[in-house]
Every structure is written in structure tokens, then in C-alpha cells.
Structure 1
Amino acid sequence: MLRILIRLLTAAILLTLTISVAVAQEDTYEDPQGRYNMPIPENWTVEENDAYTTVQSPEGTIKLYFMVAPLMTDTPDAVAAGWQLVKPDFAAEQASTLEPPSQSPVDSTLVVNYDLGDDNVIYQAVAQVVGDQVYLLLVEGPLTDIQRRQAQITVISTGYTISGTEQTDLTGVEPRTIDAEMTGALEDYINVLMPQLKIPGAVVAIVQNGEIVYMGAFGTREMGSDSPMTVDTHMMIGSSGKSLTTTMMATLVDDGLMTWDTPAQDILPQFEMADAELSEQITMRNLVCACTGVPRRDFEFLFNANSLTAEDVVESLSTFEVFTDFGEAFQYSNQMVATGGYIAAAAGGGEWGNLFDSYAEQLQARVLDPVGMPLTTISFEDVIQRGEYATPHALVAGFEYEPLPLDTERTLMPIAPAGSHWSTVEDMAHYIIMQLNNGTAADGTEVVSAENLLITREPQVAVSADDDYGLGWIIAGYKGLPLIEHGGNTLGFTSDLAFLPDTGVGIVVLTNTQVSNVFNISVRSRLFDLVFDDVDAETDAENMAFTVGVMDEQYALPENLADSVDASVVEAYTGTYTNAALGDIVIELTDGTLTLDAGEFSGAILPLMEEDNPDQVDYYITVDPPVSGLQLHFEETDDGTIHIVAGQGVTEYTFTPVE
């Protein structure tokens, strides 16, 4: 109905008159000339005039301009002309450009980021050339608003489709039987990929038709060591463990101890949001759906992990601001999922003051034992005692990895149900088999009913144009086939679980490196391509070369990063500071090195100089893992005291001196 309305209005009004249509529910906008289409999120506004279409956020602060224009002399000129059309006074300088590989019918793509001298405002352009036409997407908006509505922007940008775009559809194609030849080809691919992406160690397991058909280990447990990775090596799985929690919740629903729609306060009266009305409305389903509007606030457990309890995590939600309306946009909160796990433990008989232990016990009894996952745990002590664990590695400047002390990963313990699980690739393969069997373990044990397990895979909120978030799972697609998946990141490990429910094929990929998602997902995709005999090695290699180049640039040391501090200046910054959400930090100057010590971690601080004035400090950044790249502004107030502003946009925190 919306697309018909837009077309009728366009034909009926003067070309210079703009129309505005507010979208009550997500719909698809189609260009009146049939050149492109895109999804429009709920409550966003579409405006048309003769030369371009504007899509605006509900607040009107974020604007996405779409237009198609003649190519002119070259793509940059077309981009500049586009900006002059929508903003005649636009005069920002280009900060960076990218030319990613393109897919037919697009001949070439150019991405431009701009520098306006204000990090709190974002301008970006994407130009796609098709023949003698250039398809432009221009984006502008405040950083904080873009952070709040990033998922909805992703829905629009990933759904923006130029007419003639081809999509592979494998519906009805029979998967091949996974054999030694196929796994050998996958191993060859992994052995090429690991040095490209500098991965120290990885393990892979593949399941098909209810059986583990392959397990393989690559590299070493620690960079520079001769201790090989094995399929029995313990690694953390991060957010891939969220579905372990929602599976446990499904068993509680089976047993009549709660329902998915039981209000959280009915089970745990201590649960409270900042909004009293919302506190009463939130159900057990809502806690794990990423759809309540509660944003990501990871710093608040990273900076306080040594003192946080499960109960503290639950109580912390009473201070969280809600970014978007209920069910309006994907907002990923580890504290919300952790709270869901802890309240589920209370539904199973756990008591306030013992929620962490109760969660561990019920996860063991309800999921891990019946599935056959003897080495999966949230106990660091059990992992250390067993002694077969990989060393976590942090990604540092220069696109390099370096080992992290194992205890650094303990900062995730307060949010255990959301992502502090340890496991092995074989345990996780057993878990994938249970998922593919819709609740029945490999040995025939019924772990959970198919009815309640499948509810965890029902879409709750859009992540992109093609993907939705369920309850601890991402509901996606692979070349026309349903795909269920979830990745996980800790401070030094990465995981990926994925399966094609209609074909009986699944894969687990674990690494001992931070944010190695490109590697994990590439291995997963190559397996599926092999299974369906649809490998395009040339395109894959081109895409990987581009990705590696981007990562080299993204993680390069900034040219304007100084190698030391001016002790005479930073001496005034030393002392103890506090923030209500992040707690206390200590700024120290020792032997010429400025450091930030949060208790849970510490690291050096260096100044980033102004690009146009290399003698003037722009701001400072942390340079050591696990929290590297954090912006710090030391600001002198009117009374002469120093305040520290850490972070940017919605993740900005102000520290004041402790008297």
C-alpha cells in the first residue's frame, strides 16, 4: 500500500514539491522509475522530490539521501555533485575512501568518509556505478543518533537493491555428502587463510545428518609456542553461549516453571528498569530478544568485574536508558541476556544472593549433561585444573595479535549467561546436533521439546534487511536456504556456530583470537559452498584481499600518535577519578609513562596530536589491551579541577576527581 501511495502522489504533484510519508510498519520503498528498492523501518519517513529521495529517522536528525545520476567525468565528481544538490553549502574534506569489490550489475563502488572537524557528526557517501549511471547514497547525522539507530540504518543499507541484482538460490538443491576430499579442500583453504589473518590457532567441527563427520585442529594454543591446538582444547565461546541460556529457558517452559511471556518481575521482584511501566511489561522472552531498546553498555561490567555479582548485574538495569521504543530496533545488551539467564535460574528454584551458582547448576543439569557436553563450563577453576586451554590473544595496533593473561577473561564472569562459557569444539558439535534434531541429543535423549526450542529461532527484531534476531540466535539465510547462526567474541577468543536446519549440516569454528569473525565466517561459508558445489574461489580471494587491506588500515598505528607524553603537562592529570557507572580509575605517571588502572586491567596512555597542528594534543588514547583505543579527554573545569571524558557518543563517561 505504501509504495502505491508514493507513486500516486509523485505523479499528482509538481516536481518541485516534496512529499513526506511516515511509515507505521516496516515496508518496502520502490523508486518510481523502477531503478532500486529498499526496506523502510517503522516510523522512518520517506520524502521524494524530482532529483532524490530522503529517508529520515523518527527524530529527523539522521538523513539518508538516495539518487541516480549520470556518471559525469568520474565517480568522485558525481559524489560531489550529489552533495551540492542536497546540501549546497557542503564543503567537508574527504577523510578516507574505499573501493570494495562489486557484485553484478554494479561495475564499481566508492565509499567516502568525511572530516568536518567534529567527531560527533557523521557524513558518508556510497557510490555504485552501473553502466553510465551512478547510484548514490549520502548519509548525515549526529554520532549519538546514528549509534542509537545503527541497526535500522543497517536494515536500509543492506536492503538497498539496484534493479538487476542477481541472487543465488539453492532451494531444492541436494547437499553433497561431506567426505575426505571435501574436508581436505576446506583444510587447504584454512591453511591459506590463517596466515593472511594472522590467526595463531583454530579448531573446526562439522556435523551432517546427526553425526560428527569431521574435527580438525590448526596452529598453536599460544602464538610463538610449540603447543599444538587440539580438538580437546578449551576455549571461550562468548556470545555463542547465549543460545545455551535460551535453551535452558526453553526447558523451564517445558517443565511449567515459567512461560516465555511471564513478566520478569513475577519471578524476580528485584528486577527493575528505569521506567516503572516498562519494568512491569518486560517478559522472559523480552530479556533475550535484543528488542527492548536497551543498548550495549559493556564498559560497565569490564570496569567493575572484580566487584560485580549476578545480583549487581540485574540491579544495574535500573540505571539503563532505553534508546528506542519497545520492539522498534535491534539493540544488543549483554546485561539484559545475563539477567534473563539469572531470572530463569530463579524460576528453577534459585534464590537472590545465589543466582550465579544456580544458573551454573541448572545449565549443567538441563542442557550440558543431557546434550553430552562434559567439558562445557563457566568455571575458570575447572578449566585451569584440567590444564588444556588455549591462550587468549588480543588484536593490537598494527593488525597484530599478542597473548593476554588468562585472568583478563574473568571480566566476563558477571554476565555469565550472556557469554562467559568455556567449551571444546566436540562439545559444541554435540550441541549443534541437538539443535538440528530439534531438541534430541545424539544419543536419543530428549533435552527440550521441539515446540519450545523452535521458539528460540522465531524472528523478534530485524538486524539487517536479511537477518533477524531470535532468542539467542540470528535467523539468517545462505543463498536462499534458512541459516541459524551466532558468533561470539571475548577479549581474546572468537567463535561461530551455524547450521542449515533444512539440510542437516552444521559447523563450529573456534579461535584463540579476538574479533577473528572474518576468519570464522569465511570458513563456515566455504564449507557451505563446498557442500553445494558453489565455490567461487576467485571472488572469495578478491574479497579477502580487500578485507585484509581494510583491516591493515583500520588497525594501523595513527601517524599522529606520539610515542611519549609531556610529563610536565600530564603530571596534573594524575590521581584517582570516579564515575557512577564505571567506578574508580587511577591515572599514574611512572618513569615517564602515563597509565590508566581500572583494577580489572591497566594500560599505557599516549597523546594523539592534531593533524593540522602536530605540536597540539587533540586527545589521549589507551594503547594496551584489553581496552585499547579508548578516547580520553582531560578537561580543566572553571574551578581548576580535571575531569576525564572517556569514550564517544552514547558510550561517553565523565570521571571526576575523588576528594
Structure 2
Amino acid sequence: MKFMLALALLSLPAALAAQAPVPSDTPGKTASGISYTQPRDWTMTVKGSATIFAAPEANLNIAVVDAGEAESAQAAAAKAWAAYRPDAARTVRLVSPAARGDGWDERVGIAYETSPNERATVSALALRKDKGWTVVITDGAESTANKRSAATSVIQGSLRPAGYAPETFAGKAAHRLTPDRIQAIRDFVAESAKQLEVPGVGIALIDQGKVVWEGGVGVREIGGNEPVTAHTKFMVASNTKGMATLLLSVLADEGKLRWDQKVTDLYPAFRLGSDAVTQSTLVRHLVCACTGLPRKDYAFILADAGAPASDTFRQLAETQPTSKFGELFQYNNLMASAAGYLGGSLAYPKMELGAAFDKAMQTRIFGPLGMRDTGFDNAAAEKGDWARPHGLDVDGRMVEIPNTFNHLIVPHRPAGGAWSSAADMARYAQLELSKGLTPEGKRLVSEANLLERRKHGVPIGENGWYGMGLMERVVSGVTVVTHGGTLQGYHSSFFVLPDAGIGAVILTNADPGASMIAPYLRRLLEVVYDGKPEAAQDVAAVAARIKAQAQARRAKLTVPGDPAVLAGLATTYRSQIDGKISFSDRGGAKWMKAGFIEGPVATRKNADGTVSIVSAGGGAIGVEAVVGSKDGARTLTVRDSQHDYVYTEVR
């Protein structure tokens, strides 16, 4: 299929506009009996074999197509496109296996070519049961897909073949984590790390309030021989958010704040977009991921180093929500950062914001909880027993990467700047299991204010809700309290099963470690409840997909970059608010520096004829800039799903 840019995303099937949206998530079935859930406020149209769900913005569709028998996943996808949008023409970029599950015998992901200027998301997921295929097509604006991620998860997560009864552990007694069961989990982690080429993993397991095992698998850095231990320090990234809301819980116990108090009552300088939005923002809104603020991470990824903690509040003042309070799940790091700094200012009002937060966390949380490996000092953390970050290079090989990139979180560290260890994260999980008691039995926080963080807020997908720095999910009938964290080369998560009295921690030091997180929970549930053995196949599928994705990305890049394109670049480009992008020659190669991203440069020809400059250093987080011009000046445009960052040459 040849790509044609003229097929505008906004020209989606017109029939959808006539449908009435549903007032709440509504279950249903396709003509062949495939079950689904139609999200609240979305419309639904049946067009032959296609059941088409349309977002309220009318620029994003998810089509569930009964494709019937086909010789392959790609053939099934071609039939699905013919039923959904016969006028569409897209080039397949990548076909990769996905893990089986939810009654499907085979799952295959298909990605299609798009250009950065389109701001489009176009993909298909082919699901096979016996000989019949069901294909899920996602087609529309990237900004809406990001904004409506919870709703798209509801649709995709609810799809199950006719007659399938989901596995459930509801009402089953949990097995205790005996030595043989602990060993089964440790063996799974070791094998998963090997398949995903993750150098080191820290884990901890808790049962009935006690740590039954803590330690590590693998090494702190690739090529080294120093093992990961229970006290090896990793960056835990967004797991810092739950720690920061724990600080707010303690301050609520002290009478220094109320969850439903206006932020401006406590911090008068706070501003968010308009005056009306500012005055509507309560303390709980800072950490609920429900205020309608989109992610704006490039604002600090591309920023110059050295910003103060107060920069969080400057950026929020320049940001306007894109949906109403409480309407949608939209994850925003700046709001969580503001929450932590608010807590610091209430605890130590005469100190600088960052220093006040650091001291408040040490005196109110880390110290009393006995988290001796945990803190925010990068210089101190990057000594002794610490895990180095790793990622894939441009050729898909695992390499150690500098941790300087992750220093970008310093000005916004309440959202993700903490270092911790498996041993310390176990103590944090124990506090959640005991509803506010330290492992030694001392009350750190009231049960009421600890549990306030778990109250169901906005949905994040099927049977999942965001609270305040924590998520709660119902997985196979089991309640799970959790949160994850991601930085360059670091991925972390913890899981608490309140009804079973069981907890688990996982910390990894490589980007593919992100793919261990969900299977780790699955393996825990298999061991505790005698579940079907699916976790191992999930890891195998994702390992194959990571390799395929790396190969597909490399095939599109010119490395080193196209000499003609590189010769046409200016030395320095500057944005009015986001710092600068500069280029230099190092050892005969062109290098880029864009905020905290630094490395060699590759180029890529896009489907619409434009050319992108792509950072080609190791790690999953990079920068891609479309080469252009405006008013006779050379420009580079960096985009995320909802923002444009335009850089103009410095003459």
C-alpha cells in the first residue's frame, strides 16, 4: 500500500458524526460475538463488519473489524482496512508479535508509516481465535490519542472472543510465599532479564507484613562483575510521586493542609492558566492526573541546565488545561512537582523550595521509615553501590549510557527524582500494606490520609483508576495498588495486594526493563493463585518485538547523517522559551546538543518528503526535529503529541 499524505486524518468516515455518545462506559458485542466496552462520551457506528468508535473530538477512530479467515495477520489487516476505510492507503512499517492472552490464540501488532507533520497515530492489532481474525485499527490525531489514552485502553483491553470467560482469582485463598514460590519468582526475573538483555534487577518480596526476600539479579553495569544487591541504588523516577503525596498525607495529619483546600490559600503565588482555573485548583488536583493538563516533558528535556525549583511554577502559569477537571486521565509531571514543593514550603516556609522539599522528605518520610538508601542527591547516589543506566544504541545493541540526561529532573524532582533500593522500596510497600505503620509498628501516617491517596479518581483503562500518586487496578479479580517510574535507562514499580497481604518491588537498569514490569506482576499472581503460566510467553513476545522495532528504526535512518542535510544546518538554533539546539563536529561526525540530549546525529527521510534530524545516542529518549524554514530563516521543529517546539537559527 503506497502512502498518500493527501488522505487527511480529519476526513474520517462522516457517518460517525450522526451518532449519539453514551453517558457511561457501555458493554456490547460485535456481530460475531466479540465483546467490547464503548467508552463514555464516545460514539459508535456499525459499518458492515466494522464497529467504529469515535472520540468526542471527531478526529480519532478505533475500528474493531471482524475480518474472518485470512492467511496472515497482514492479510487480515488489509481486509479490515477495506471494510473500515477503503480509500485509505498506508505503508506497513513494522509487523511484530504480541503476547497471547484474554482468549486470543495469536496477537500481532502492525505499525504504519506516518510523517511528523501529520501528528498522526495509525496502527492495527490483529487478534486470532481459531481461524478467525479480529482487527483493531487506531486511526487519527496523535494529540487526541494521547488525551484519550484511558478510553482507548478501555476499548482495547475489553476485547475478548465469543464465549471466552476471563480467568479470575476472586475469592481464592492466596498461597504464602514459601521458599519454593520465592525461587519461582526469582528464576522468572533472571530468565526475563536474560531475554531482554537487562544487566541488573533489584527485587523484593513481602508476605504478611514481612520481607521474605530482597536482593538482586545480574550486575550493576554491563561488562562488570559487581552484583546488584538489596541496597543497590536505582533512580525510581515517577515512584517519587507517591512518596511526595505521602508527605502531603503526613502534613494533613499535622493540620498544615486539607485535601480540598485551594492551593492559593497555601501558596499564593501558584497560577495555572487562567484566573478561573487557578482558583479552582485544590490540593488534591495537583496529584490526581485529572486536571486536563497534557504532558509537557520536552519543556524540561530541551531546557538548559540549572533551572531552580521555582521553574515548576513558572511553567504551570504558562499552561492551560485541554480538558475539564475530573473529565480525563492526563499525566502531568509539573503538577506533581508542584505538589511536592507545596509540601516542602509548608514544612519549612523559610527555606528555598527545593531545599525545603528535600528536608521535608528526609525528616517526615525517609528518616522515620528507615529508607537509608533513598534521597535526591545525584552526586551522593552515583557513588558506591549504584546501578548504571543502559539502553539500546542505534544498531539495537545494549550499551551503558551517561546518567547526565536524568539530571534534567532536578528542578522538578518531586515528580521523579528519587534514588532508592529494593530494600528501601520494600519498606515503602510495607507501609502501604500496614496502612500507615512502619515495619517496626510505629504509626507514620494516619490510615485515613494514607488511604486518601488510593481513592478512585479518573479511570486509566479497564478496571483501573488513578488516585493521588498511586494507581489501583483490579487484575483477574485481585485488587492491586501500584505505580511505576521511567527515566532514561531506569524502570521501577511496586505492587501491593492488600487482600492477600503480599507486596513486590522491581527496579531495573535498562530501557527494555520496562517490558518486565507487567509480566512480573503476572508471574506473582500465577505463583500466589495458581494462575495459568502466561508471564514467560509475554516476555518472549516483547523481546522479539523490541528487536523488530530496533531493526525497523535503524532501517529508516542514515547513520552518519546525510552529508547534504547536515551541511545545510545552522550551528545554533534557539527557541524563545525552550533553550537552544546546537551542532558541532566531533571526530569527523556531526553532534547535536538539545537541552539534556547530546549525541551523534542521524537523518531520516519522511513519507511526506520532509527530512528529520534524529539523535542517535543510546537510550530510549531522544529528539527528532523536522528541518524547515520560516521567513527566510532555517528552523527545526520538535513535536510531542500536543505541543510544537520551534527553533530558529541564530545569525
CA–CA distance in 2 between the matches of 1:305 and 1:575?
Answer: 17
CA–CA distance in 2 between the matches of 1:62 and 1:155?
Answer: 15
1:213-258 Cα distance to aligned partner (Å, 9 max, x none): 1112222111111222221222211111211111111111112111
Q: Which residue of 2 aligns with 1:82?
A: 80
**Secondary structure of 1:243's match?**
helix
1:184-221 Cα distance to aligned partner (Å, 9 max, x none): 22232222222211111112111111111111222211
**Pick aligned residue for 2:456 from 453, 456, 459:** 459
Q: Which residue of 2 aligns with 1:573?
A: 569
**Pick aligned residue for 2:554 from 551, 558, 565:** 558
**Pick aligned residue for 1:420 from 398, 417, 421:** 417
CA–CA distance in 1 between the matches of 2:594 and 2:114?
Answer: 33
1:596 has 2:568 as partner: no
Change (3 A) 1:566 1:73: closer
1:328 has 2:327 as partner: yes
Give 5+ residue unaligned stretches, structure 2: 1-14
Change (3 A) 1:182 1:569: closer
1:549 has 2:544 as partner: yes
CA–CA distance in 2 between the matches of 1:419 and 1:112?
Answer: 32
1:341-490 equivalences in 2 (<5 Å): 341-351=340-350, 354-384=352-382, 387-490=384-487
CA–CA distance in 1 between the matches of 2:67 and 2:319?
Answer: 44
1:655 has 2:647 as partner: yes
Change (3 A) 1:339 1:80: same
CA–CA distance in 1 between the matches of 2:453 and 2:567?
Answer: 54
Percent identity of paired positions between Structure 1 and Structure 2: 25
Give 5+ residue unaligned stretches, structure 1: 1-15
CA–CA distance in 2 between the matches of 1:570 and 1:331?
Answer: 37
CA–CA distance in 1 between the matches of 2:388 and 2:544?
Answer: 26
CA contact (8 A) 1:493 1:515 kept: no
Note the C-alpha offset of 1:136: 3.6
Q: Which residue of 2 aligns with 1:54?
A: 52
1:622 has 2:620 as partner: no
CA–CA distance in 2 between the matches of 1:60 and 1:540?
Answer: 37
Q: Which amino acid aligns with 1:347?
A: L
Q: Which residue of 1 aligns with 2:501?
A: 504
CA contact (8 A) 1:372 1:430 kept: yes
Note the C-alpha offset of 1:652: 3.2
- Select between 337-346 and 80-89 the one with higher mean Cα deviation: 80-89
1:587 has 2:583 as partner: yes
**Pick aligned residue for 2:626 from 613, 621, 633:** 633
1:144-169 Cα distance to aligned partner (Å, 9 max, x none): 33233233212222123333222222
Note the C-alpha offset of 1:18: 9.5
**Secondary structure of 1:345's match?**
helix
Q: Which residue of 2 aligns with 1:274?
A: 273
CA–CA distance in 2 between the matches of 1:134 and 1:492?
Answer: 37
CA contact (8 A) 1:201 1:218 kept: yes
CA contact (8 A) 1:221 1:391 kept: yes
Change (3 A) 1:134 1:637: same
**Secondary structure of 2:628's match?**
strand
Change (3 A) 1:78 1:369: closer
Question: Which stretches of structure 1, 4 residues or longer, exceed 6 Å deviation after superposition?
Answer: 16-19
Note the C-alpha offset of 1:68: 3.1
Q: Which residue of 2 aligns with 1:248?
A: 247
Q: Which amino acid aligns with 1:84?
A: A
Change (3 A) 1:133 1:569: closer
TM-score normalised to structure 2 length:
0.91
Q: Which amino acid aligns with 1:112?
A: I
CA–CA distance in 2 between the matches of 1:422 and 1:181?
Answer: 31
CA–CA distance in 2 between the matches of 1:430 and 1:369?
Answer: 12
CA–CA distance in 1 between the matches of 2:91 and 2:593?
Answer: 37
Q: Which residue of 2 aligns with 1:491?
A: 488
Q: Which amino acid aligns with 2:303?
A: N
CA contact (8 A) 2:99 2:537 kept: yes
1:645 has 2:642 as partner: no
Q: Which amino acid aligns with 2:85?
A: K
TM-score normalised to structure 1 length:
0.89
Change (3 A) 1:62 1:228: same
Q: Which residue of 2 aligns with 1:6?
A: none
Q: Which residue of 1 aligns with 2:63?
A: 65
Q: Which residue of 2 aligns with 1:291?
A: 290
CA contact (8 A) 2:562 2:603 kept: no
CA contact (8 A) 1:509 1:524 kept: no
Q: Which amino acid aligns with 2:555?
A: E
**Secondary structure of 1:324's match?**
coil
CA–CA distance in 1 between the matches of 2:274 and 2:111?
Answer: 38
Q: Which structure's CA Rg is the greater one?
A: 1
1:306 has 2:305 as partner: yes
**Secondary structure of 2:62's match?**
strand
**Secondary structure of 1:573's match?**
coil
Note the C-alpha offset of 1:19: 6.2
**Secondary structure of 2:19's match?**
strand
Change (3 A) 1:627 1:129: closer
Change (3 A) 1:481 1:604: same
Change (3 A) 1:458 1:572: same
Q: Which amino acid aligns with 1:527?
A: L
CA–CA distance in 1 between the matches of 2:16 and 2:184?
Answer: 59
Q: Which residue of 2 aligns with 1:161?
A: 160
**Secondary structure of 2:224's match?**
coil
CA–CA distance in 2 between the matches of 1:517 and 1:396?
Answer: 16
- Select between 128-137 and 549-558 the one with higher mean Cα deviation: 128-137
Q: Which residue of 2 aligns with 1:11?
A: none
1:23-81 Cα distance to aligned partner (Å, 9 max, x none): 23x32141375823433333222234565432211121112223435436766555434
| Aligned residue pairs, count | 635
CA contact (8 A) 1:20 1:48 kept: no
- Select between 404-413 and 97-106 the one with higher mean Cα deviation: 97-106
1:489-516 Cα distance to aligned partner (Å, 9 max, x none): 1222221111101111101111222351
Higher RCO by CA contacts (8 Å cutoff, separation 6 or greater): 2
CA contact (8 A) 1:19 1:49 kept: no
CA–CA distance in 2 between the matches of 1:575 and 1:548?
Answer: 39
Change (3 A) 1:236 1:305: farther
**What RMSD over aligned residues (CA atoms) do the two structures have, in Å?**
2.7
**Secondary structure of 1:597's match?**
strand
Change (3 A) 1:583 1:611: closer
- Select between 265-274 and 514-523 the one with higher mean Cα deviation: 514-523
**Secondary structure of 2:374's match?**
coil
Change (3 A) 1:206 1:163: same
CA contact (8 A) 1:631 1:648 kept: no
CA contact (8 A) 2:294 2:330 kept: yes
Note the C-alpha offset of 1:305: 5.7
CA–CA distance in 1 between the matches of 2:515 and 2:108?
Answer: 21
Q: Which amino acid aligns with 1:607?
A: T
**Secondary structure of 2:462's match?**
coil
CA–CA distance in 2 between the matches of 1:654 and 1:350?
Answer: 38
CA–CA distance in 1 between the matches of 2:88 and 2:153?
Answer: 24
Note the C-alpha offset of 1:486: 1.1
1:229 has 2:225 as partner: no
Change (3 A) 1:69 1:410: closer
Change (3 A) 1:507 1:51: closer
